[in-house]
């Protein structure tokens, strides 16, 4: 089945789509403020000073404030114990002005990430990682707008649906089996009536598996692993990967961000493709804000 390729490949602009989603959220939050006198509250918890985490937290905080969400910031020292972090999460679980809780990963090695994520109340799970929310996504018969869904795969689904194609019956291959992207992405596409294959780095004949796909979602964490020759003519490619590689520019070593897909080659075959950066990344943050608003509406019984 071929989705159909235009003479020119469409670049899926995640930055623009995310801005549109934030604009919609801002309008809805303004309406909610008028009706309830309240706005959603997002608690952001960071432990330590990992540079990348600080950049992500700053971006998430800025976007939250842009749409009218109150941000409650908790920046804890590196030496914070697991017990102390769990106490902070428990306090936030019981604060009425907190609707969403985000614990920025990675955590220091002496803290069990899964224990901390599981301690976040499922009604305030801004990331959509809690086992109860994962279970709700699994058993839902359709993509319920009131569910707290993992942000990155939901952002991918929004981009796919924004292309205006009928997803029903399409062959989708997801490369990657993580709890954060691969598995929930499969659930979301199944609910759109796609025929879904989950592949990974150990899949035999991965090239052949991909070459039949109408939709390829790459989330394997290996720079440019998916080659252009793997992409069927007219397929849609969603590249979740973000990898920093070293390149040589005029004899000087420089860092470059690339995805899990060889973009230059894949673009020749794809009907639509996400770039790296400014593809999936901005959608992840926008969907985090969406989850926070959904949690607020659920708490207010709206």
The pair of structure tokens assigned to 289 is 């804000």
H or E element at residue 92: helix 82-93
d(CA 101, CA 261): 32
Could you give all domains of the chain from N- to C-terminal order, each with its CATH number? 37-121 (3.40.50.10860), 150-281 (3.40.50.720)
**Catalytic amino acids?**
60, 104, 127
Q: Render pLDDT for 23-56 as a digit per residue (tens, 0 to 9).
A: 999 999 999 999 999 999 999 999 998 888 898 8
Q: In angstroms, how far is CA 270 from the centroid of its own chain?
A: 22
pTM of the entire structure?
0.91
Amino acid 242: pLDDT: 87
Q: Digits of tens for pLDDT over the chain (302 positions)?
A: 444 444 478 999 999 999 999 999 999 999 999 999 999 999 999 999 888 889 889 999 999 999 999 999 999 999 999 999 999 999 999 999 999 999 999 999 999 999 999 999 999 999 999 999 999 999 987 877 789 999 999 999 999 999 999 999 999 999 999 999 999 999 999 999 999 999 998 999 999 999 999 999 999 999 999 999 999 999 999 999 988 877 777 777 888 888 999 999 999 999 999 999 999 999 999 999 999 999 999 999 88
Q: Say which residues have a Cβ less than 8 Å from residue 239's Cβ, sequence separation at least 6.
A: 218, 226, 259, 260, 261, 263, 273, 274, 275, 276, 279, 280
d(CA 253, CA 131): 43
Question: Considering only CA atoms, which of 160, 176, 177 is closest in space to residue 219?
Answer: 176
Amino acid 93: pLDDT: 97
Indicate the angle between helix axes 151-161 and 14-36, nearest 10 degrees.
Answer: 110
d(CA 158, CA 153): 9
H or E element at residue 25: helix 14-36
Is 126 buried (19+), middle (13-18) or exposed (0-12) by CB count in 10 A?
buried
Burial letters 219-236, b for 16+ CB under 10 A, else e: bbbebbbbebebbbebbb
């Amino acid at each position: 089945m071929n989705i159909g390729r235009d003479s020119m490949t469409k670049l899926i602009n995640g930055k623009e789509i995310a801005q549109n989603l934030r604009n919609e959220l801002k309008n809805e939050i303004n309406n909610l403020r008028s009706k309830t006198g309240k706005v959603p509250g997002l608690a952001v918890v960071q432990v330590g000073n990992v540079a990348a985490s600080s950049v992500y937290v700053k971006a998430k905080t800025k976007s939250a404030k842009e749409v009218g969400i109150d941000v409650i910031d908790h920046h804890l020292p590196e030496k914070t114990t697991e017990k102390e972090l769990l106490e902070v999460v428990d306090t936030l679980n019981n604060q009425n002005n907190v609707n969403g809780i985000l614990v920025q990963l990675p955590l220091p090695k002496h803290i069990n990430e899964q224990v901390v994520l599981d301690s976040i109340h499922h009604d305030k799970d801004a990331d959509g990682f809690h086992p109860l929310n994962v279970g709700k996504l699994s058993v839902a018969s359709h993509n319920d707008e009131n569910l707290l869904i993992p942000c990155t795969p939901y952002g991918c689904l929004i981009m796919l649906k924004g292309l205006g194609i009928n997803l029903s019956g399409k062959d989708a291959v997801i490369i990657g089996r993580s709890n954060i992207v691969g598995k929930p992405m499969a659930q979301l596409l199944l609910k759109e009536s796609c025929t879904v294959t989950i592949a990974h780095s150990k899949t035999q004949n991965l090239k052949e598996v991909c070459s039949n796909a109408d939709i390829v979602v790459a989330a394997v964490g290996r720079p440019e692993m998916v080659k252009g020759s793997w992409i069927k003519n007219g397929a849609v490619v969603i590249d979740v990967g973000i990898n920093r590689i070293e390149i040589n520019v005029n004899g000087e070593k420089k860092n470059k961000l690339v995805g899990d897909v060889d973009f230059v080659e894949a673009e020749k075959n794809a009907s639509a493709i996400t770039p790296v950066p400014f593809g999936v990344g901005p959608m992840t943050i926008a969907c985090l804000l969406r989850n926070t608003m959904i949690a607020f509406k659920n708490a207010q019984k709206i």
